[in-house]
Amino acid sequence: MKISITLITLNSEKTLKSVLEAVSWADEIVLVDSGSTDKTLEIARQFNAKIVYRAFDGYGSQKNFATSQASNDWILSLDDDEILTPELQQEIQNLNLSTTNYDGFKIPRSLIFLGKLLKFSGEYKRLTLRLFNRKQGNWNAEYVHESVEVNGKIGVLSHHILHDSYHDLTDYFNKFNKYTSLGAKTLAEGGKTASSFKIITRFPTTFLKIYLLKGSCLDGYAGFMWALLTAINPVVKYAKLKEMNSKK
């Protein structure tokens, strides 16, 4: 059974080559770009990727469109900073998708942050559904924190994806601003509100949960920074929601 790799990109040159090298064995690579001005498309052409332009209107809808552009029913959907380990590549290639009873597979994903593979911050081998039969499911339409929804039986693979998401702190905050704005927009459209008390108390509870309960303190400096920044994220998201609602 053939597999199509789908990705969405925007100025992804820093990690794209490593991502595509790890899936060069696939039958098809579909890349949906929303206006890259760096070497993203040049790199994609080196791997004979099918390149389609689409204006960005949310992560879920963009990834759904990428699925629609694929030629095969089995889709391995990746972000432009997700690299398959050699062990995972082999595991996927060994799957017999034409006879499997599963309609999708969850894959462990591990975060690399500030150059360190986090092992104790709740981000090590977190399961995410990325390999699926599009006859049975697709991405939901969330603006951000989108996920694949499959109507069928789900299997779990053993080996992991390396999520090399943030090149440095500047890159983190560029994405941070975009993600918190899209998250606030989702909440606002759902009729959610945010009180000042909720915003103020969100930080300490989130930080302590990640730093102590999830053990990011064991990941050293990178773990501390991850706990700190992750705890700030919902504070800013709900502050933006409060601001949106006040403008209404």
Residue 43 CB burial class (10 angstroms; 0-12, 13-18, ≥19): buried
pTM (predicted TM-score): 0.92
Would you place residue 167 in the very low, low, confident or very high pLDDT band (cuts 50, 70, 90)?
A: confident
21: pLDDT strictly greater than 90: yes
Average pLDDT, stretch 220-240?
97
Residues 6+ away with beta carbon under 8 Å from 239: 194, 199
CA angle 195, 198, 200 (to 5 degrees): 110
CB 4 within 8 A of CB 71: yes
Average pLDDT, stretch 40-53?
98
170: pLDDT strictly greater than 90: yes
CB 104 within 8 A of CB 132: yes
Average pLDDT, stretch 127-137?
97
Other beta carbons within 10 Å of 148: 23
Q: Which residues of 51-82 are buried (b: 16+ CB within 10 A; e: fewer)?
A: beeeeeebbbbbbbbbbebbebbbbbbbbbbb
Average pLDDT, stretch 154-169?
95
How would you classify residue 65: left for phi > 0, otherwise alpha for psi between -120 and 50, otherwise beta?
A: alpha
Averaged confidence pLDDT in the chain: 96
Domains, the chain, ordered by start: 3-163 (3.90.550.10), 169-247 (no CATH)
CA angle 13, 109, 82 (to 5 degrees): 10
Other beta carbons within 10 Å of 151: 9
Q: Which residues pair with 109 in a beta bridge?
A: 126, 161
